[in-house]
């Protein structure tokens, strides 16, 4: 058996969806372990585009089991819509193939209301860039122990009791602190009671099922959302998400012990992007930044927001390798760099009083950083149809080697386009 964790190594949007889809071929079970529907994976399979927000993309394979772990926060309406959409496209989402942890927390309407009201109240320049989907407030309730779990839906009396307490508390915050409209208890109750009939058949103990699968010698793939620099503990706080996006989150977010993790694959975009607010040392405001944005179709799969673009940041990459224990890299969107010469890689930062080989802990310091670049020659050839490493242009291979040398991690997967077949696989990802 083998278990592999896939994580984002930058600020998210690295192309994890495609990599997870590729690795699913070798897996038996695919588990999403953190985040909510603020994340999105876009896949192109046989010319058809699929966008996932909660369900692991492995559902596209008919013989795989997909799970949403306890570390995920779930908006039941979004999940039900996603299930319905997949069924409309002829895909099976049966209770045998899809499981939801009963310990996952539910996003409620008051979470979304508070999320939006809080962001609107922030001054310009201090806005986090939240998607407004209630992710942060839901995790907030989880930590202060007043959250509502998926399993609570199966106990109608407990659900009503917890809902009433939360509605009363949250309406006080909405009306008194933010001057916003209150939410209605009866309306929420009706909607969520309707969700129970649809979702109850999927609810199970995912931690136990994963353990059984590993003992049976099956391959398990753990799928993260967002990226390392958006981790609540290790990212550019407070411009982060509300969960642990690093590989260790797979253990707590799926209910597996760390000794059961065999490999961590870090997904790295060949350049760097970021959505929302927060510092971004290598961000480009010139024509090259526009080229990266346009060629890379850099718009958020969830929000449609234009992504900020910049050169590859190797400081961020080295942080990701260290924090996640990355022992293999999947390099994505390499084709976007064709025709750009020279290319630049940020190897360290120039701060106010010193140089930095890692991201500083002070967000004010991070905001003042200047990238120190190393240049490397670019290539002009179109590589989108290349299907083996040796056929890549020499300078392209040199760029790949430079990334390996800087990160001290081997690149074993190379993506040269959005389609499933536009991938160069150098090693079986489940071999350790």
Give the whole-angstrom CA distance, residue 281 versus residue 365: 11
Cβ atoms of 73 and 40 within 8 Å: the answer is no
Q: Rounded to the nearest 5 degrees, what angle is found at the Cα of 337, between the Cα atoms of 332 and 340?
A: 165
Counting other chains too, the contacts that 389-398 makes at CB distance below 8 Å and 24 or more residues apart are 389/414, 389/424, 389/426, 392/424, 396/334
Give the residue from 423, 19, 83, 366 showing the smallest Cα distance to 227: 19
216 in helix, strand or coil? coil
> 427 in helix, strand or coil?
coil
Run of H or E including 219: strand 219-223
Q: How far is the CA of 348 from the CAs of 144, 155, 201, 239, 419, in angstroms? A: 39, 54, 51, 21, 33
H helix runs in 122-215, sequence order: 135-143, 156-172, 185-199, 206-215
Q: Which two tokens mark 190?
A: 């009706």
Active centre residues (catalytic): 13, 41
């Amino acid at each position: 058996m083998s278990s592999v964790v896939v994580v984002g190594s930058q600020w998210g949007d690295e192309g994890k969806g495609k990599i997870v889809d590729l690795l699913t071929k070798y897996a038996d079970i695919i588990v999403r372990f953190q985040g909510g529907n603020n994340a999105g994976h876009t896949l192109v399979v046989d010319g058809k585009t699929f966008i996932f927000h909660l369900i692991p993309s492995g559902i596209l394979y008919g013989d795989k089991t997909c799970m949403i772990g306890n570390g995920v926060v779930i908006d039941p309406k979004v999940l039900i819509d996603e299930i319905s959409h997949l069924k409309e496209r002829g895909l099976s989402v049966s209770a045998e193939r899809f499981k939801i942890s009963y310990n996952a927390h539910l996003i409620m309407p008051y979470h979304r209301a508070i999320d939006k009201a809080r962001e609107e109240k922030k001054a310009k320049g201090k806005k986090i860039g939240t998607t407004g989907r209630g992710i942060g407030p839901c995790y907030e309730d989880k930590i202060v122990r007043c959250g509502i779990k998926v399993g609570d839906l199966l106990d109608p009396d407990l659900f009503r009791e917890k809902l009433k307490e939360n509605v009363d508390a949250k309406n006080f915050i909405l009306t008194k602190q933010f001057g916003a409209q209150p939410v209605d208890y009866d309306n929420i109750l009706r909607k969520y009671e309707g969700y129970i009939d649809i979702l109850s058949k999927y609810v199970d103990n995912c931690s136990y099922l994963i353990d059984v699968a590993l003992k049976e010698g099956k391959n398990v793939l753990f799928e993260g959302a967002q990226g390392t620099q958006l981790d609540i503990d290790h990212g550019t706080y407070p411009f982060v998400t509300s969960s642990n996006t690093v590989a260790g989150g797979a253990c707590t977010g799926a209910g597996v012990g760390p000794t059961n993790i065999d490999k961590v694959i870090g997904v790295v975009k060949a350049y760097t992007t970021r959505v929302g607010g927060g510092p971004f040392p290598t961000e480009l405001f010139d024509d090259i930044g526009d080229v990266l944005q346009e060629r890379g179709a850099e718009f958020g799969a969830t929000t449609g927001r234009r992504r900020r673009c910049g050169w590859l940041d190797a400081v961020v990459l080295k942080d990701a390798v260290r924090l996640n224990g990355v022992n293999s890299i999947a390099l994505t969107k390499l084709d976007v760099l064709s025709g750009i010469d020279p290319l630049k890689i940020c190897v360290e930062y120039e701060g106010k009083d010193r140089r930095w080989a890692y991201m500083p802990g002070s967000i004010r310091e991070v905001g003042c950083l200047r990238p120190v670049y190393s240049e490397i020659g670019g290539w002009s050839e179109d590589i989108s149809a290349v299907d083996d490493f040796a056929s890549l242009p020499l300078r392209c291979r040199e760029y790949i080697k430079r990334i390996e040398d800087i990160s001290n991690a081997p690149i074993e997967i190379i993506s040269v386009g959005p389609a499933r077949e536009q991938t160069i696989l150098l090693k079986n990802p489940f071999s350790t």
